[in-house]
């Protein structure tokens, strides 16, 4: 018999790498038994990453889900593991120390055995508290190397990083090949290097299928001494997810390793249930392209875990972009053209931004910057003309140190905008909050929950938790799902009603009457005026008022998203009558998981605010009118 090697089913990541949501708690507990009965898994990834947010978004309690989902594996002696983002814990931006400490305590008490902790910049200083808090909470601390490919990210780079994490007290090392672009031979050498530092340390390889290296990488990792290989299963394996358990199992057995047999009856049952969940509602949130492998991902190195959101972002932004292109007499762009332009832009700007590993949240930041750059440049704007604050914080060091140098042009742009590079510990920028939140929850009449788990959710995801508690989240999810089902079920061709407003009917008109220009908003008998959407050109446009005396200008939305007047409670919202100057921040648009400050390109006094806080708007919509 050859050396024993274990398999871990990454059931959570299978869903997150495919689409937006993952199964409800009733579905998870239904499939737990067949997964146990398969008999081949040493570990199952049950939660972490986006698990909590996903539950909150469709109105479910994530704490109930974690406890009930992990219990069958706890009972069967199968280890459960979660994914957490170091300084960012379970969200996209830094988390206070007291919240990070509470998280590990709660997750262990809920039934999670192992915490895979990674830092999106591979800044090991950000992982010290994760290692300490995981072990203090009774969890196994697994520290991850975020694999990417560049002149900076060499085998020695990763082996040295592993050495620092082991010195910090990490119990295990994960080779987190989140984009699947780690070259197989290099993966083997990294595992060998880690084992040379500490021969008995457990090493787990996690590789997405995306560009096609992962099967060979899994074999190289195993031959070099890896102890556990992460796998997926049909109908969600391959594509942007992971290699299927049957393939990896057969390959390892043929290579002489000892792996438990797969109970195929249980495999088929689990496979059937997963398809049942897809057919129920989850399939409405899975882009079919994510089921395909794509070697084009080798270039930009974007990870499988974000491809679901990337394709959704492309669809939304493509619609807005083509609206602008048509209006301005330019040919429309296809989704493939936009995707390739995005990939090329990511390859170009990634080293300029300091070569951050392309993993959550920084893969989103680089992708967002690339997509916004492409769209802005297609409209004749300059690269970097719209860069969100989250991305700036990464570049400036407020989330840790980026691995490579920041390009001179970004350093110059930061100076122009009065932004300073941060050299200290980013954890110091986030003060403790739990005492204040305990009081807030008491004032609201909310219980802290078993082991203070409800306090943890409120601390990690405040707005999503409020929407869950109020019922707003469940209502919004049900409405969205109903709309998706209706759109999928409607006939491909339907003749418009004689009374309906079609897309060809104008919503606004510029009318010239005896030399005087008027801008007219048009409504129809079956369409209330409140539903009329302004279709104004992107460039600020002066319009003569009806009396011909005063000139008005418009501030236009630079991208699609959700618009807010302020970003935080300490900021003063713009109001009618306020003076606005060129360069002033007038509002914020949340898009692609980040907040973008909208700066005015014109000066004047606000005469009309054309949106309500929290409205969904399109690229090119009018936000403000100025006199």
pLDDT digits (tens, 9 = 90+) for 599-622: 888 999 999 999 988 888 887 789
Convert the pLDDT of each residue in 410-425 to its tens digit: 999 999 999 999 999 9
pLDDT at 308: 57
* Locus of tokens 């719209």: 386
294, 179 Cβ separation under 8 angstroms: no
- Count of domains for the chain: 3
User: Is 488 within a domain?
Assistant: no
- Claim to verify: residue 244 and residue 303 sit in the same structural domain: no
Domain residues for the domain of 305 are 299-422
Convert the pLDDT of each residue in 332-367 to its tens digit: 988 888 888 988 999 999 999 999 988 878 888 898
Evaluate if residue 492 carries a pLDDT over 60.
Answer: no
User: Is 490 within a domain?
Assistant: no
pLDDT at 210: 87
Share of the chain above pLDDT 90, in %: 62
**Peptide bond preceding 472: is omega within 30 degrees of 0, i.e. cis?**
no
186 vs 216, 526, 624, CA distance in Å?
Answer: 11, 64, 54
User: Is 485 within a domain?
Assistant: no
Q: What single DSSP character describes residue 452?
A: G
103, 89 Cβ separation under 8 angstroms: yes
pLDDT at 551: 64
* Locus of tokens 């972002």: 313
Phi first, then psi, for residue 516 (nearest 5°) are: -95, 135
- Claim to verify: residue 162 and residue 80 sit in the same structural domain: yes
* Locus of tokens 């429309």: 332
pLDDT at 272: 97
**Type and span of the H or E element at 364:** helix 362-378
- Claim to verify: residue 184 and residue 249 sit in the same structural domain: yes
Evaluate if residue 157 carries a pLDDT over 70.
Answer: yes
Smallest CA-to-CA distance from 66 within 88, 51, 79 is with: 51
Count of residues in the chain: 627
- Claim to verify: residue 48 and residue 191 sit in the same structural domain: yes
Alpha carbons 109 and 103: distance in angstroms, whole number: 10
- Claim to verify: residue 269 and residue 370 sit in the same structural domain: no
Which of 422, 440, 462 is a domain's end point? 422
pLDDT at 562: 87
- Claim to verify: residue 77 and residue 134 sit in the same structural domain: yes
pLDDT at 105: 98
User: Is 306 within a domain?
Assistant: yes
- Claim to verify: residue 258 and residue 308 sit in the same structural domain: no
Parallel/antiparallel/unpaired status of strands 202-207 and 172-177: parallel
- Claim to verify: residue 251 and residue 303 sit in the same structural domain: no
Alpha carbons 128 and 136: distance in angstroms, whole number: 12
- Claim to verify: residue 28 and residue 141 sit in the same structural domain: yes
Flag the least confident range among 5-14, 39-48, 111-120, 503-512: 503-512
Q: How confident is the model at residue 245 (pLDDT cuts 50, 70, 90)?
A: very high
pLDDT at 47: 96
pLDDT at 338: 87
**Terminal Cα distance for the chain, rounded:** 82
Q: What single DSSP character describes residue 86?
A: G
- Claim to verify: residue 227 and residue 118 sit in the same structural domain: yes
485, 493 Cβ separation under 8 angstroms: no
Q: How confident is the model at residue 296 (pLDDT cuts 50, 70, 90)?
A: confident
- Claim to verify: residue 202 and residue 313 sit in the same structural domain: no
Q: How confident is the model at residue 549 (pLDDT cuts 50, 70, 90)?
A: very low
User: Is 42 within a domain?
Assistant: yes
pLDDT at 513: 47
CA count, 13 A, side-chain hemisphere, 612: 1
CATH code where residue 540 lies: 2.40.50.100
453, 107 Cβ separation under 8 angstroms: no
pLDDT at 312: 67
Convert the pLDDT of each residue in 573-590 to its tens digit: 899 999 999 888 899 888
* Residues 6+ positions from 489 with CB-CB distance below 8 Å: none
User: Is 469 within a domain?
Assistant: no
Q: How confident is the model at residue 497 (pLDDT cuts 50, 70, 90)?
A: very low
User: Is 214 within a domain?
Assistant: yes
- Claim to verify: residue 78 and residue 152 sit in the same structural domain: yes
Which of 422, 438, 459 is a domain's end point? 422
User: Is 457 within a domain?
Assistant: no
Share of the chain above pLDDT 70, in %: 88
CATH code where residue 233 lies: 3.20.20.70
Q: How confident is the model at residue 460 (pLDDT cuts 50, 70, 90)?
A: very high
Q: Is 258 exposed, middle or buried (0-12, 13-18, 19+ CB in 10 A)?
A: exposed
Which of 265, 291, 317 is a domain's end point? 291
Q: What is the mean pLDDT of the chain?
A: 87
Q: Residue 435 in 3-state DSSP?
A: helix
- Which one has a higher pLDDT value, 390 or 157? 157
Alpha carbons 115 and 171: distance in angstroms, whole number: 10
HEC profile of 320-360: HHHHHHHHCCCCCCCHHHHHHHHHHHHHHHCHHHCCCCCCC
């Amino acid at each position: 018999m050859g050396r024993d090697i274990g398999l871990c089913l990454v059931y959570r990541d299978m869903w997150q790498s495919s689409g937006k949501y993952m199964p409800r708690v009733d579905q998870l507990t239904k499939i737990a038994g067949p997964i146990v009965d398969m008999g081949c898994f040493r570990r199952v990834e049950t939660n972490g990453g986006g698990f909590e947010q996903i539950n909150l978004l469709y109105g479910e309690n994530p704490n109930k889900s974690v406890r009930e989902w992990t219990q069958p594996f706890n009972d069967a002696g199968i280890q459960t593991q979660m994914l957490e983002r170091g300084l960012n814990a379970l969200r996209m931006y830094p988390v206070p120390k007291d919240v990070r400490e509470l998280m590990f305590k709660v997750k262990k008490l809920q039934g999670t055995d192992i915490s895979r902790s990674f830092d999106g910049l591979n800044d090991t200083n950000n992982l010290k508290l994760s290692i300490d808090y995981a072990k203090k909470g009774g969890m196994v601390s697994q520290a991850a190397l975020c694999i990417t490919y560049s002149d900076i990210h060499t085998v020695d780079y990763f082996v040295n990083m592993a050495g620092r994490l082991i010195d910090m007290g990490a119990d295990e090392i994960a080779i987190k090949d989140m984009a699947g672009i780690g070259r197989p031979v290099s993966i083997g050498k990294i595992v060998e290097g880690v084992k040379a530092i500490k021969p008995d340390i457990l090493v787990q390889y996690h590789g997405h299928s995306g560009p096609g290296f992962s099967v060979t990488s899994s074999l190289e990792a195993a031959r070099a001494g890896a102890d556990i290989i992460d796998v997926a299963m049909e109908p969600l394996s391959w594509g942007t997810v992971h290699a299927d358990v049957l393939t990896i199992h057969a390959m390892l057995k043929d290579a002489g390793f000892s792996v438990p047999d797969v109970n195929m009856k249980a495999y088929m049952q689990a496979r059937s249930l997963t398809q049942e969940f897809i057919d129920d509602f989850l399939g409405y949130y899975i882009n079919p392209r994510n089921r395909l492998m794509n070697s084009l991902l080798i270039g930009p190195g974007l990870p499988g875990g974000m491809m679901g959101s990337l394709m959704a972002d492309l669809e939304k932004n493509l619609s807005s972009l083509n609206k602008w292109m048509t209006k301005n007499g330019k040919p429309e762009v296809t989704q493939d053209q936009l995707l390739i332009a995005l990939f090329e832009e990511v390859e170009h700007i990634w080293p300029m931004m300091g070569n951050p590993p392309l993993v959550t949240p920084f893969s989103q930041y680089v992708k967002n910057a690339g997509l916004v750059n492409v769209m802005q440049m297609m409209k004749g704007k300059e690269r970097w003309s719209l860069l969100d604050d989250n991305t700036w914080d990464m570049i400036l060091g407020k989330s840790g140190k980026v691995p490579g140098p920041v390009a001179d042009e970004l350093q110059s742009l930061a100076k122009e905008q009065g932004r300073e590079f941060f050299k200290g510990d980013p954890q110091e920028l986030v003060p403790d909050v739990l005492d204040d939140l305990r009081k807030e929850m008491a004032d609201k009449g909310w219980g802290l929950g078993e082991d203070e788990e409800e306090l943890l959710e409120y601390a990690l995801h405040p707005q999503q938790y409020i929407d869950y508690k109020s019922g707003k989240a469940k209502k919004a999810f049900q409405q969205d799902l109903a709309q998706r089902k209706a759109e999928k079920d409607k006939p491909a061709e339907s003749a418009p009603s004689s009374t309906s407003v079609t897309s060809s009917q104008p919503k606004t008109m510029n009318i010239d009457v005896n030399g005087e220009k008027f801008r007219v908003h048009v409504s129809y008998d079956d369409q209330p005026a409140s539903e009329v959407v302004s279709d104004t050109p992107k460039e600020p446009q002066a319009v003569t008022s009806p009396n011909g005396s005063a000139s008005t200008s418009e501030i236009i939305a630079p991208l699609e998203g959700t618009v807010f007047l302020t970003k935080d409670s300490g900021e003063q919202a713009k109001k009618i009558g306020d003076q606005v100057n060129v360069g002033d921040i007038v509002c914020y648009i949340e898009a692609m998981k980040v907040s973008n400050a909208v700066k005015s390109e014109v000066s004047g006094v606000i005469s009309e605010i054309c949106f309500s806080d929290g409205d969904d708007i399109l690229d090119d919509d009018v936000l403000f009118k100025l006199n």
